[in-house]
C-alpha cells in the first residue's frame, strides 16, 4: 500500500485535541443566531431561510481568496453508488456530508456524483440514495450545483465534465482527492478525458484491497477497476478496510444523534435507521481526508461530531 500525500500535522494535532476534549466531557457548542452558511434552506443550526454573505468569522475560515476553501484539507471529489448493491451508502453518504459540514468544509467539496452503478439500478435503492444525498446536501449547506445524479444521462455528462475540469485544475500545490465510494467507472471516464499531467496531482482514495468497489465494474460489467485509474496516473491511496471500525453495529450506538435535539442530526439518525445496521464504513475515507486518520472507528467519529 502506498501512502498518499501527507496530511498536515496540524490537522492531526487538532483532531487529537478534539478527541481529548470530547473524552473530558466537552459539549457541542451552542448554535448561534448567525447564519452558519450562505445557502438558503435548512441550516446547520436548525434555522430556516438564512442566506447571504460569507460564513461568519467564528468558523475560522481564513480570508485568503480561496472562496472559503480550507487549503489544509484541499479540494475533494466524491463518487458513490447506493443505487445497486450498496444500501449502506444511504447512511454513509449523509454521514460524510455531516462530517465535512462539522468543520465548515462545504467549499472543499467540489464534485459529488452518486448513483454511479451506471449499468443497472434498483428503483428503491435509487430513491433512498437520492434522498440521502440531496437532502443531506441541502441540510448541511452544500453547493448543490456540484451534485450529479448518474442515473440521469444529462447529469452524468455534466458531472463527468465537472470532474474533468477539477482534475485539470490540479497542480502540485493544489491537489484533488477523489473519494471512491462506489464502482470506478464514472471516475475513470473523467480521468481518461483529463490532462495527463494534471492526473498526477490527483489522489484516488479507496479502502481495502481488491474490494468490491475496486473490482466490480471490470469483473461484472466489462468496465474498469482501481488499477485502471492508477494506470492513468492517479496516485494510489489505499487505506485499511473501514468495515471493522465503522461497519455494522447495534443501532443504539447512534442514539446520541436521535437524542441530540438537533433536527439535522435526528434526520441523520433516520437515514441510519433506514439501513438498519449502523454501517457508515465508506465515510471512513472522508474521515481520512479531513483528519489523516487511516484506521478510524465509530468512537472517534462520535468524539469528532460532538467536539
Residue 184 maps to a domain: yes
Decide if pLDDT at 218 tops 90: no
pLDDT of residue 51: 37
Q: What is the average pLDDT value for the chain, to the nearest integer?
A: 83
User: Of 20-29, 183-192, 255-264, where does mean pLDDT reach its minimum?
Assistant: 20-29
Residue 47 maps to a domain: no
pLDDT of residue 216: 79
Residue 24 maps to a domain: no
Decide if pLDDT at 108 tops 50: yes
| CATH number where 92 lies | 3.90.245.10
pLDDT band for position 66 (cuts 50, 70, 90):
low
Decide if pLDDT at 180 tops 50: yes
Q: Which domain holds residue 99?
A: 67-306
What are the tens digits of pLDDT across the range 111-149? 999 999 999 999 999 999 999 999 999 999 999 999 999
The whole-angstrom separation of Cα 47 and Cα 167 is 35
pLDDT band for position 223 (cuts 50, 70, 90):
confident
pLDDT of residue 222: 86
Residue 49 maps to a domain: no
The whole-angstrom separation of Cα 287 and Cα 122 is 28
Query: How many Å separate Cα 205 from the centre of its chain?
Result: 11
Residue 212 maps to a domain: yes
β-sheet with 176-181: strand ranges across: 147-149, 109-114, 75-80, 176-181, 202-207, 235-239
User: Of 17-21, 79-83, 118-122, 241-245, where does mean pLDDT reach its minimum?
Assistant: 17-21
Decide if pLDDT at 287 tops 60: yes
Averaging pLDDT over each range in 38-42, 159-163, 223-227, 293-297, which range is the top one?
159-163
Residue 256 maps to a domain: yes
Residue 200 maps to a domain: yes
pLDDT of residue 196: 98
Q: What is the DSSP string of the chain?
A: ----SPPPHHHHHHHHHHHHHHHTT--PPPPPSS-SSS-SSS-TTS-SS---SSPPGGG----SSSTT--TTT-EEEEEE--SSS-TTHHHHHHHHHHHHHHTT-GGGEEEEEE---TT---HHHHHHHHHHHHHHHHHTT--GGGEEETTSHHHHHHHHHHHHHHHHT-BTTB-EEEEEES-SHHHHHHHHHS-HHHHTTEEEEEESSS-HHHHHHHHHHS---HHHHHHTTPEEEEEPPTHHHHS---GGGGHHHHTSS-HHHHHHHHHHHHH-S---TTHHHHHHHHH--SS--HHHHHHHHH-
User: Of 10-19, 111-120, 259-268, where does mean pLDDT reach its minimum?
Assistant: 10-19
Using only C-alpha atoms, the chain has a radius of gyration, in whole angstroms, of: 18
What percent of the chain lies above the pLDDT cut of 70? 78
Residue 134 maps to a domain: yes
What percent of the chain lies above the pLDDT cut of 90? 72
In the chain, the number of structural domains is 1
pLDDT band for position 69 (cuts 50, 70, 90):
very high
Dihedral sign (CA 245, 267, 85, 190): negative
- Cβ burial of 201 (10 Å; 0-12, 13-18, 19+) is buried
Cell 468495515 found at: 243
pLDDT band for position 166 (cuts 50, 70, 90):
very high
The whole-angstrom separation of Cα 187 and Cα 75 is 15
Mean pLDDT of 82-110: 96
pLDDT of residue 221: 77
Amino acid at each position: 500500500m502506498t501512502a498518499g500525500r501527507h496530511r498536515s500535522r496540524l490537522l492531526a494535532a487538532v483532531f487529537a485535541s478534539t478527541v481529548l476534549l470530547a473524552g473530558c466531557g466537552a459539549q457541542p457548542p451552542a448554535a448561534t443566531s448567525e447564519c452558519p452558511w450562505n445557502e438558503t434552506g435548512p441550516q446547520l443550526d436548525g434555522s430556516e431561510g438564512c442566506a447571504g454573505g460569507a460564513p461568519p468569522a467564528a468558523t475560522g475560515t481564513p480570508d485568503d481568496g480561496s472562496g472559503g476553501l480550507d487549503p489544509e484539507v484541499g479540494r475533494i471529489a466524491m463518487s458513490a453508488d447506493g443505487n445497486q448493491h450498496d444500501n449502506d451508502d444511504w447512511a454513509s453518504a449523509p454521514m460524510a456530508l455531516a462530517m465535512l459540514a462539522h468543520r465548515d468544509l462545504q467549499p472543499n467539496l467540489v464534485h459529488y456524483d452518486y448513483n454511479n452503478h451506471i449499468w443497472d439500478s434498483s428503483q428503491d435503492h435509487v430513491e433512498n440514495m437520492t434522498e440521502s444525498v440531496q437532502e443531506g446536501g441541502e441540510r448541511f449547506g452544500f453547493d448543490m450545483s456540484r451534485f450529479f445524479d448518474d442515473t440521469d444521462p444529462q447529469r452524468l455528462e455534466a458531472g463527468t465534465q465537472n470532474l474533468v475540469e477539477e482534475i485539470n485544475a490540479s497542480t502540485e500545490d493544489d491537489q484533488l482527492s477523489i473519494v471512491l465510494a462506489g464502482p470506478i467507472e464514472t471516475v475513470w471516464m473523467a480521468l481518461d478525458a483529463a490532462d495527463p499531467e494534471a492526473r498526477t496531482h490527483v489522489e484516488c482514495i479507496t479502502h481495502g484491497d481488491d474490494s468490491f468497489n475496486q473490482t466490480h465494474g471490470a469483473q461484472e460489467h466489462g468496465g474498469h477497476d482501481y488499477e485502471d485509474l492508477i494506470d492513468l496516473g492517479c496516485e494510489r491511496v489505499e487505506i485499511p478496510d473501514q468495515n471493522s471500525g465503522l461497519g455494522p453495529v447495534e443501532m443504539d450506538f447512534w442514539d446520541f444523534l436521535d437524542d441530540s435535539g438537533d433536527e439535522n442530526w435526528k434526520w441523520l439518525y433516520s437515514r441510519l435507521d433506514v439501513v438498519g445496521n449502523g454501517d457508515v464504513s465508506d465515510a471512513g475515507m472522508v474521515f481520512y481526508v479531513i483528519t489523516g486518520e487511516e484506521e478510524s472507528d465509530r468512537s472517534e467519529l462520535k468524539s469528532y461530531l460532538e467536539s
